[in-house]
Amino acid sequence: MIEYLGLWILLALTLNMWALLSVIGSRAKLLSKFLWAAALLCLPGLAFFAWYLGGPRQQS
């Protein structure tokens, strides 16, 4: 299990960066973007799932 820890960390970082880029590219207001970005940086696991369920989305 310990040998796969690096892969799990890499996956978590990748998903968190994806969420962060999505927040930056969204049409949300600047304060909302800042708060989501701060949450993603401070609480990566919890904030990722919160963002996935209801965070701002990228503009299409």
pLDDT tens per residue across span 1-15: 677 888 888 988 999
Q: Tell me what pLDDT residue 56 has.
A: 75
d(CA 56, CA 29): 10
What is the distance between the alpha carbons of residues 8 and 31, in angstroms, rounded to a whole number? 31
Radius of gyration of the chain (CA): 12
For residue range 16-59, list pLDDT tens digits in order: 999 999 999 888 899 999 999 999 999 988 888 888 888 776 65
